Amino acid sequence: MAILVIAEHDNSELKPATLNTVAAAAQMGGDLHVLVAGAGCQSVADAAAKIQGVSQVLLAEDACYEHQLAENISLLINELGKDYTHIVAAATTSAKNFMPRVAALLDVAQISEIIRVESADTFDRPIYAGNAIATVQSLDSIKVITVRTTGFDAAAAEGGSATVRAVSMLHNAATSAFVGAEIAKSDRPELTSAQVIISGGRGMGNGENFALIEKVADKLGAAVGASRAAVDAGFVPNDMQVGQTGKIVAPDLYIAVGISGAIQHLAGMKDSKVIVAINKDEEAPIFQVADYGLVADLFEAVPQLEQQL
């Protein structure tokens, strides 16, 4: 029996999240196959074939898979998935959209956002905003799983030589259509794979002031994140939100600026290796998780930080 890993990609590039997912799947035991579903995505399949440990790549190309519409992709994976013990994908917004549909079509549970593989059928996952870790055993013959990528080191991107097999299954539900996308273009690393992140909260006061943080980010090669309050207030776009219901990150260094440290925010960053908090309120809960806390006005401290780097 084999395990099917669903590749995360944008039709031209295989996303690093796939590597962490392959590493998690490898711990479940079994032959590893990767599905690349999209349009004009041969280059993604070629990249997937090089991942260490992968034995086969399935390539499903059609216009109806181009935008990863959940209605279509889920039907495809449902058909392919019956031959597998596990169907595994990274817990990105794309897979979170289609994987539960796959599970329901197969009449099995989805085990969401696992952070550890205990055995082939038992997994650890955070619940209640990470305030508890549940160990869950699947009783289903096919296990549908999403993986929190921060819980697993990446598999090697090179070294494998899987065969690429085209699958010609066409599933167009024709109930949904892609209209458009506003995807932020940035030269900075992606939040979910960055080694250093600096995030701003409501304390930043407005969107323009995020420039202070961006200057530090430039010096550190860091990604820029935000709290929900900063996103809700319109300082920065939604894709920058870190937290229980935003992005989950675990960089080597996380710098929280003007962020109080609500449990929902901590849920998204408390597994970072080193946490720095800059906040003018010494009672702010963020200091309870910070390795280094600086009680200071951010408008003085952040420019100083930039100068000293």
Partner 1 sequence: MKVLVTVKRVIDYNVKVRVKSDNSDVDLNNVKMAMNPFCEIAVEEAVRLKEAGIATEVVAVSLGSKVCQEQLRTALALGADRAILVESDEILESLTVAKLLQKVVDDEKPGLVIMGKQAIDTDNNQTGQMLGALTGFPQGAFASDVKVDGDKVQVIREVDGGLQTVSLTLPAIVTSDLRLNEPRYASLPNIMKAKKKPLDIKTPADLGVEVKSHTRLVKVSPPAERKAGIKVASVEALVDKLKNEAKVI
Q: Footprint of ligand FAD on this chain (CB under 6 A)?
A: 201-203, 227-230, 241-246, 258-260, 262, 264-265, 268, 279-281, 284, 297-299
Smallest distance from partner 1 to CB 131, Å: 5
User: In degrees rounded to 5, what are phi and psi of residue 147?
Assistant: -115, 130
Smallest distance from ligand FAD to CB 248, Å: 9
Is residue 241 a known part of a binding site? yes
The single-letter code of the amino acid at 41 is C
DSSP secondary structure letters along 231-284:
HHTTSS-GGGBBSTTSB----SEEEEES----HHHHHHHTT-SEEEEEES-TT-
What b/e string do you get for 49-67 counting C-beta neighbours within 10 Å, with b at 16 or more?
Answer: bbbbbbebbbbbbbebbbb
| Region for residue 258 given its phi and psi (left: phi exceeds 0; alpha: psi -120 to 50; beta: otherwise) | left
Smallest distance from partner 1 to CB 40, Å: 18
Is residue 43 a known part of a binding site? no
Say how many C-beta atoms besides its own lie within 10 A of residue 147's C-beta.
Answer: 30
Total residues in contact with partner 1, by rule CB under 8 A: 89
Q: Of residues 28-47, which lie at the interface with partner 1 (CB under 8 A)? A: none
Smallest distance from partner 1 to CB 239, Å: 5
93 binds, among partner 1, ligand FAD, none (CB under 5 to 8 A by kind): partner 1
CA gap 267, 83 in Å, rounded? 35
Is residue 304 a known part of a binding site? no
Is residue 228 a known part of a binding site? yes
Smallest distance from partner 1 to CB 204, Å: 17
**Residue that the structure tokens 């595994």 belong to:** 88
Is residue 272 a known part of a binding site? no
Q: Of residues 50-109, which lie at the interface with partner 1 (CB under 8 A)? A: 67, 69-71, 74, 92-94, 96-105, 107-109
The single-letter code of the amino acid at 118 is E
Residue of 130, 151, 160, 203 that binds partner 1 (CB under 8 A): 130
Say how many C-beta atoms besides its own lie within 10 A of residue 163's C-beta.
Answer: 11
The torsion defined by the Cα of 95, 97, 99 and 102, in degrees rounded to 10, comes to: -140
Strand boundaries in 19-83, DSSP class E: 31-38, 54-61
- CB nearer to partner 1: pick between 158 and 187: 187
Regarding 187 and contact with partner 1 (CB under 8 A), the answer is no
- CB nearer to partner 1: pick between 183 and 211: 183
Annotated binding site for FAD: which residue ranges? Answer: 202, 227-228, 241-245, 258-265, 279
**Residue ranges for the binding site?**
202, 227-228, 241-245, 258-265, 279
